[in-house]
């Protein structure tokens, strides 16, 4: 899941009948400015307000391959696994645009994130809607317990049929039929019951494509205090950089972050600044344009393309 990248105020609604939530759910009152899975993708007309939302919605399949979440132990509702009550301390991520070390592995965390180039190419496919994200969650539920609004498209009939109608409401700034699933007073997804997703096989597309590795991959930091668990988990990932191709792609992704950061009010929806998830996803989407050339290369065509979107 991902949170709605736009700034939204929330109001409480009374708990619906026969709902699995432990309390009330929060409903957005203002428009969502995001493009993820959750409400963190671009909220353009006809697009979901989720950070993983593809910029090519027509290519998104109705039932993308589910993300692979290894849950060898039962996840606790606080985002940890029952077999690991404490988490190793992880060093803070490098700042966006920081120097590339060129090392074979980034020294940032204790969890293997895989080879950088293989992961980022696969993530581009997930963003385009070609397949789900394969994430070794290992019982982590940080994204399910971080006050995130989950976008659900009108074509996701399977997911909608497994979520009580009382828990969803119209998605701000999107066409009729797009809805958002809120969260309870603890910030937990109401479909998370006893630390497990009660609709895992039927979960929304946003959840299927969410991958918190976008943050260490781009060196973009999660700056929302309500998502501290996601930030901690993201810092645990460590990408392998065994080849020059891996290092080149990492450099291209970071260059894309810097490029978008300088133009964030132009690139974002409605002139609002890009949220961290939006910035990370957009950088991954366009990083190919930064391969094999310096950052001072002519980016005018890319800027024009971004403005048209």
**Domain spans, the chain:** 10-79+90-308
Whole-angstrom Cα distance, residue 231 to residue 51?
A: 15
Q: Read off φ and ψ for residue 278, nearest 5 degrees.
A: -60, -45
Mean pLDDT calculated for residue range 170-197: 96
Report the distance separating Cα 40 and Cα 26, nearest Å. 16
Which pLDDT score, from 0 to 100, does residue 74 have? 37
More confident residue, 77 or 260: 260
What span, in angstroms and rounded, lies between the C-alpha atoms of 270 and 281?
18
d(C-alpha 128, C-alpha 253), whole Å = 17
Higher-pLDDT residue of 13 and 193 is 193
Element containing residue 240 per DSSP (H, E): strand 237-240
Region 45-74: what's the mean pLDDT?
38
pLDDT band at residue 275 under the 50/70/90 scheme: confident
Q: Which residue has the higher pLDDT, 188 or 298?
A: 188
Between 237 and 51, name the one with better pLDDT. Answer: 237
Please, are residues 233 and 142 in contact by the beta-carbon 8 Å criterion? yes
Helical residues (DSSP H) of the chain, grouped into ranges: 116-128, 157-161, 205-209, 214-218, 228-236, 244-262, 264-267, 276-286, 300-308
Whole-angstrom CA distances from 229 to 10, 142, 144 are: 21, 5, 10
Mean pLDDT of 105-123: 86
What pLDDT, on a 0 to 100 scale, did the predictor assign at position 26? Answer: 52
* pLDDT band, very low/low/confident/very high, at 291 (cuts 50, 70, 90): very high
Phi–psi pair at 211, nearest 5 degrees: -150, 110
- Residue 193 three-state SS: strand
Q: What is the pLDDT of residue 108?
A: 58
pLDDT of residue 307: 52
Query: Can you tell me the mean pLDDT for 75-87?
Result: 37
Per-residue confidence (pLDDT) for residue 198, from 0 to 100: 98
| pLDDT for residue 90 is more than 80 | no
- Give the tokens for residue 253: 């992704």
Q: Region 106-120: what's the mean pLDDT?
A: 86
47-69 burial by CB neighbour count: b if 16+ within 10 A, else e? bbbbbbbbbebeebeeebebbeb
pLDDT at 297 over 90: no
Could you tell me the pLDDT band of residue 3, with boundaries at 50, 70 and 90?
A: very low
Q: Would the pLDDT of 56 be above 60?
A: no
Between CA 108 and CA 94 the distance in angstroms is 8
For 87-126, letters b (16+ CB in 10 Å) and e give beebeebbebeeeeeeeebbebbebebbbbbebbebbbbb
Structure tokens at 101: 């070390």
Given a cut of 50, is residue 166 above it in pLDDT?
Answer: yes
What's the helix, strand, coil split of the chain in %, to 5?
A: 35, 10, 55
What lies within 8 Å, CB to CB, of 214 at 6+ separation is: 123, 220, 277, 280, 281, 284
**Residues whose CB is less than 8 angstroms from the CB of residue 180 and which lie 6 or more positions away in sequence, other chains included:** 4, 27, 28, 32, 39, 49, 149, 150, 151, 152, 168, 169, 170, 171, 172
């Amino acid at each position: 899941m991902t949170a709605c990248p736009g700034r939204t105020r929330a109001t409480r609604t009374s708990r619906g009948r026969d709902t699995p939530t432990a309390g009330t759910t929060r409903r957005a009152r203002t428009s969502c400015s995001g493009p993820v899975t959750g409400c963190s993708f671009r909220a353009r007309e006809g697009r979901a307000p989720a950070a993983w939302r593809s910029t090519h919605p027509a290519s998104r399949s109705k039932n993308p391959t589910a993300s692979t979440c290894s849950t060898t132990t039962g996840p606790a509702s606080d985002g940890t696994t029952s077999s690991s009550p404490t988490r190793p301390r992880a060093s803070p991520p490098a700042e966006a645009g920081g120097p590339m070390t060129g090392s074979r592995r980034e020294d940032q965390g204790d969890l293997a994130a895989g080879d950088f180039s293989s992961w980022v190419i696969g993530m581009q496919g997930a963003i385009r809607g070609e397949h789900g994200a394969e994430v070794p969650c290992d019982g982590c539920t940080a994204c399910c317990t971080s006050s995130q609004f989950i976008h659900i498209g009108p074509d996701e009939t399977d997911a909608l049929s497994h979520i009580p109608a009382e828990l969803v409401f119209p998605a701000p700034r999107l066409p009729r039929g797009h809805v958002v699933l809120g969260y309870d007073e603890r910030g937990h997804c109401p479909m998370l019951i006893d630390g497990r997703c009660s609709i895992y096989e039927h979960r929304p597309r946003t959840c299927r494509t969410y991958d918190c590795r976008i943050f260490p991959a781009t060196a973009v930091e999660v700056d929302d205090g309500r998502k501290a668990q996601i930030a901690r988990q993201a810092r645990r990932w460590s990408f392998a950089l065994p080849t020059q191709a891996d290092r080149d792609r990492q450099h291209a992704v970071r260059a894309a972050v810097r490029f978008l950061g300088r133009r964030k009010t132009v690139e974002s929806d409605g002139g609002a600044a890009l949220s961290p998830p939006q910035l990370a996803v957009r950088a991954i989407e366009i990083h190919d344009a930064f391969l094999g050339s310096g950052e001072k290369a002519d980016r005018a065509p890319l800027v024009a393309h971004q403005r048209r979107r």
